[in-house]
A and B are shown apart, each in its own frame.
Chain A
Amino acid sequence: MADAAQSGAAAPGENILVAEDVTKVFPGVVANDSVSVEIRRAEIHCLLGENGAGKTTLADILYGVYRPEEGQVLLNGRPLELHSPRDAIEAGIGMVHQHFELVPPMSVIENVVIGTPAKQWLDLTEARRRLEEFFADYDVEIDPDAEVGRLSVGEQQWVEIFKTLYFGVEILILDEPTAVLTPQGIDELFRILRRMRDEGLTIILITHKLKEVMDLSDRVTVLRRGKVVGTVDTADVDQRDLARMMVGREVLMQADKAASTAGEPVLEVDEIHLRSDTGRGSLEGLSITVGSGEIVGIAGVSGNGQNALFDAVVGVRHPETGSIRIAGQDTTESAPHRIATLGVASVPADRIAQGLMMDFSVKENLVLGNQRERQFSRAGILNRGHIDAFATESIDTFEIKTPSAAQITRTLSGGNLQKIIMARELSGQPQLIVAHQPTRGLDIAATEYVRRRLIQERDRGAGVLLMSEDLDEIFQLSDRIAVIYDGRIVAVTEPDATTLEEIGMHMAGASDTDQGPP
């Protein structure tokens, strides 16, 4: 990529990639509505916007994944016909998607070689040499022969970036690259991205995090509901300006939360071990306690045992050793249904796969799991009148935007899907709420709503176990913060007694002997 600046027509500062009046329509949604963006050579250009603002769609158009209905893409002033990512790669455009596009059972080198014009008779020496050079150059320590599926998400991110640069691209698009990184990992990524920019690489970074825009970008284009709000020099604006452009109104950057004292323990997890099939994300003697009326936030990089902890508490998987008590009762070996009847609400990380039946109606999803309760059925026959009444009430209280209770769930937006789950899970006044990534992928309004709701539940007296990769969320909501690393809780502290950097250190596995598990 060092020689990128020498090729092409545009000098630094001139437009290299331009989208002109691009419109892309998906069934029922105008994802990009006459969007125009100008990217200059050797700049870091952020595309800022909420989820659903159309950032990724725009990037996918620039990368040839989608073809726009209207408008065109210009590279160095010439129209660029993009039929597939192949065309984009040949034009010197590379993209790292938010969901990694890796082949997990294959090695790092094999992942890098896929799609390159290498010889048919596989000779990986050249790829290995370039890969090792790159890693050495940027101080990244990854074994080129390691199986990609066994790398940490941070390492996988590097593989993604390098395999894109391996094509010799001049323009690198990164879609939410920091979502899986620790604060230190983000710093390192940004340091390297700045260096690559200085070496002549043009970088387009998609994000919804204001801080990242301020830290990194030269210019920023803000999108809202598929339209461009404006492009500004980052030096001319502050976070408040950007937030206003992004949301279209003033935003409260803080959730209001009164102080709270924890009552009787509602969840006691004691030294549990739970092996996962792949060996990654196992629990290795994890202990954590949640009291009534408190929110305990579990911070950690994904893949350190969050899924296993969630599954163990709600009873989907059972630990091999150790014990779990909920409201004083041993639930180590209990089935999910029994645990739910103890007053445990669960908000799973993957709301589509684990939380909802996407082809069922909204009202069916609102009673899913509770269908055996007396108010919803008698002798196995569903009481449709009660279900309708309950659904109407829930749609009202939880502000679920749906044409009707009979609407098929699949057609709703992410925020409304999460509200259906929240309405269902909170209907029984639970004692314990286990929430895994409850605001991932939600827009600001829905995020605010979910957070406010969790605080309300805490104030009512429920204990909340909150697992999130969003550290701001952890700091805003938690009464206590616990850091999960390698299947153990490595630190427990309070938000006022710690810093983002300290939590980040623990998330990366830097042990601190002063702060052991509780």
Chain B
Amino acid sequence: MTKKIYTKEEWIKALAGLKSSYNIFVPVRDGDFHTFKVLDEKKIPDFNFQNTRLSPKSLVYPRSERLFEYTLDENAPDVNIIKESEKDYSPRAIVGIRPCDAHAFQIVKPNFENPEYQDPWWTQRYESTTFVGLGCNAPDSTCFCTSVGGGPFSEKGLDALLYDLGDTFLVKGLTEKGETFLENAQGGKTADETALKAGEDLAAGVSDKIEQKVSTDKLKHKVQTELFDAPFWDEVAFACINCGTCTYLCPTCWCFDIQDEVLGKQGDRIRNWDSCMFPLFTLHGSGHNPRARKVQRVRQRFMHKLKYYVDKYNNGVQCSGCGRCVRNCPANIDIRDVCELMNG
């Protein structure tokens, strides 16, 4: 596998050179926070970032995606015939994705791609994406990736991994996809033993520094109905304002709603992110709502992430420890505390 050293300028130049073969997404400063944007002449990639405010899940699973389209024009030969909309599955690369966010794609994968069901749109976009990670030199105090099967230099879900060594990036290919990406990247030199050692030391040092420990060990053995009826839900839910901040910022929340939108005679069938925090999420056609109360919706979110997922997929918890919900919840609902309650 490729192991190369680039100066930071060389790396950005190399990325620019790859634009003809890939749509390259890089972290860009946008006001108060960072966001992944397509690399072009006007954008300056900023790899000196903590993490993006929104997770990069939208690059594989857009907030709104047109799945099908149709015409209602009675004179058209294909009136009322639903057709799949054209989609762009040309190669793309997310460069600078944090290991927690790459791990998150592995966590959601069993939902979108399993022996029983394959979501063609998620799967194809996922397959067309190369994930080039950037190890975390300085994780936040709200990060807890090491408690949920990840790590600041975890290679899970990554095709290549960058180590920020100060003036240089050490980059390692991890999969065939990553190798293809790096083969096409101009410049850089083969990493020598010193550079590799520096990378290893950096990763080991940082992983030791993550102080946050969240216990998840007992979740699997808990009885679902007992957790469901646990006495702490009212207290957990009290402050919650039932907004979608946690679910929309979360890299592992995958729920969606499908809607038809018609303008004139043109119809589109669109898949939009949805949130279990919203009452409409579970409103039945009959008017009955099985989760009409806030506490039921809050419980659902945590039960799904920390119990139902655990039981169904045997793949750990549905959380990559990125800490976005902890940092951004308007009401300071802290998943680390809820997890401790559930695991306790």
Binding between chains A and B: no
Q: Which residues of B approach A to under 8 Å, CB–CB?
A: none
| Residues of A participating in the B interface, judged by any CB pair closer than 8 Å | none
